[in-house]
A and B are shown apart, each in its own frame.
Chain A
Amino acid sequence: MSGQSYAGPPADPTTATPVPATTGRQPGVSRRSVLRGAAGAGAAGLAAAAVAGTAGPVLAAATSASPRRQAARTANEPAVAGPVVVHVRDARSGEMDVFAGTSHTRLRDPDLASRLARAAR
């Protein structure tokens, strides 16, 4: 491992060999929330982006099904660099994708989806 960070098995199923999660330079992003709606309220395909400083509540809500894991993440890991992007795939079912750093999480949270949709109006 030679001392560098290693992200574990690659998230990319097309890459057979694990590679380090090199994020490279992350362009500067403002520290305020930049929630942006990409679709009308209630529509599928709503996308939202939040910066690391305001992403906590979103991630906390999104990962509420795994509180132990979330607590460990909060305690031990630094805030994610770069934007956290939420793609609401289906507002009715609450299915959404959360992108942060080099990770991707698929969630189902109708309440959060509804709140995001309202925020995007």
Chain B
Amino acid sequence: MSSHREAPEISKDPVADSTDVYAFVSPDRPDSVTLISNYIPLQGPAGGPNFYEFGDDVRYEIQVDNDGDGRADVTYQFRFETRLRDRDTFLYNTGPIEALNSPNWNSRQFYTVTRAANDDVKVLASDLACPPCNIGPLSTPNYASLASAAVHDLPGGIRVFAGQRAEGFYVDLGSIFDLLDLRPLEQLHNQFGMNVFTKPAPGVNATAAVNVHSIAIQVPTSQLTRRGSHGAGEQASVIGVWATASRQRVRLWDADHGENVSSGPFRQVSRLGNPLVNEVVIPLGDKDLWNSLPPSDDKRFVSHFARPEVSALLPALYPGVFPNLAALVKSGAARADLEAILLTGIPSGIVPGFQNFTGPVLADMLRLNTAIPPSAKPNELGVIGGDLAGFPNGRRVFDDVVTVELRAFAGATYPLVNKSFTPDAAVGAVTDGLTASSVPSGFLSTFPYLGVPYSGFDVPS
């Protein structure tokens, strides 16, 4: 998964588990940037009567670095509050929820958005309503319209949304976690001698029927970058983005009242910048630590980027398919291409007309060159597909980050730093077999861009 249940500790705390981060120049409002962070993975849409909600005791933040030091210069903080209308019913709603202020809606959530930039801390808005979860035609009729009412326009040209969305990250979990089986290539897998697969198979989207909770904010670009306007070739046009979730250090079960109480300073328990980093780059023994640190500390993990485990596994699991990659791995050469893509950004002169370099500090951040306009004809393979407005130049909701990163691990991007290296012929076929069309709910063309969540009635299991 991009970062769903990716580390031992956070897998036990889904409310604080950041699962995906997106950052892109808004296609319908190109003077702004949209930042999205998802939490609470793998929601079965029928999961009532206590349907999914943000944690009142979690501090959610989207962080932006605009000077390349791997530390936040601008932070958007979101704090939630759950309010019950009636404590004497088990029902989430006692009738159809046709508006956000419906008296039939029992368990509602509201939130406060705060912006912090250096010493300037400002509450942007409070008492903003979340939409309900999508339950079914009786409880949440006309859900799309209901959720649209939860898009809030704030002063300063800011737009926010916080609530349930359809999972937009598509991935064949079932095969990938079965010893890195890629169904389109599975007949070439060594299969540990069991000969289970004899021919290619199409990918299966494991997230095709689950929801997430999204925090989305659209901000004028000038509020994120360093002062002044910057051209696409300037480092000052690039921002680094990541999401965090923090909890207070002490959590105490108050048995007298049947509830948890919290105390002490907040500490970061979840972090996410580039997709799949903590998932498949950071080893099990370091994942919880990685989640607790800022990107500025990522230098300590650089060996995992330089010699990633996935790159060594591919030639071992697909014998004879990746001979050039096997030789590269055997040579012990550091993968400077992956370090650039994931830890520093790509400097000018590597990809024609493109850079998202933030400087020498090694920091896992989703780097967006805000001066590159949205693509009129997006390619979900992003930069390796010739579309400079897509991943790893930020990340759009439909980008195929699994295929892009699998191919990068397989050596597709190594010629960027070593022109004598020829990627294996099979690299172009490396994929889990899915595309953005594998997401049944699809995507929206306007904020918050992620699709309408699946309802429990329509997707009961």
Contact = CB atoms under 8 A, between A and B. Distances in A.
A28 to B, nearest CB: 6
Contact of B262 (A6, A17, A19, A82): A82
Interface stretch (A56-64, A65-73, A101-109): A101-109
Interface string B67-99: 000011111010111100000000000000000
Interface in A35-59: 49
A8 to B, nearest CB: 10
B263 A100 contact: yes
B156 interface: no
A93 interface: no
A103 B263 CA distance: 8
Chain B interface, DSSP helix/strand/loop, else mixed: strand
Contact of A14 (B79, B114, B292): B292
B294 interface: yes
B249 A24 contact: no
B116 A30 contact: no
Pairs A-B, 7 closest by C-beta atoms: A99-B264, A16-B71, A11-B265, A99-B263, A17-B72, A2-B122, A85-B250
A6 B120 CA distance: 10
A87 B56 CA distance: 24
B266 A11 contact: yes
Chain A interface, DSSP helix/strand/loop, else mixed: loop
Contact of A28 (B77, B121, B123, B257): B257
Interface string B43-73: 0000000000000110101010000000111
Interface of A: 1-2, 4, 6, 10-12, 14-20, 22, 24-30, 34, 49, 82-85, 87, 99-104
Contacts of A2: 121-123
B363 to A, nearest CB: 11
A14 B263 contact: no
Given A30-B256, A83-B252, A102-B248, A24 B79 contact: yes
Interface residues on B, range: 35 or more
Contacts of B59: 19, 22
B263 A85 contact: yes
Interface string B91-125: 00000000000000000000010101111111100
B116 A17 contact: yes
B261 interface: yes
Contacts of A87: 250
B264 A102 contact: yes
Given A4-B123, A22-B77, A15 B257 contact: no
B263 A25 contact: no
A19 B293 contact: no
B268 to A, nearest CB: 5
A97 B126 CA distance: 33
A1 B254 contact: no
B259 interface: yes
Contacts of B256: 30, 34
A104 B73 CA distance: 25
B115 to A, nearest CB: 9
Interface string B231-273: 0000000000000101011101010110111111111100000
A60 B13 CA distance: 35
Interface in B119-173: 119-123
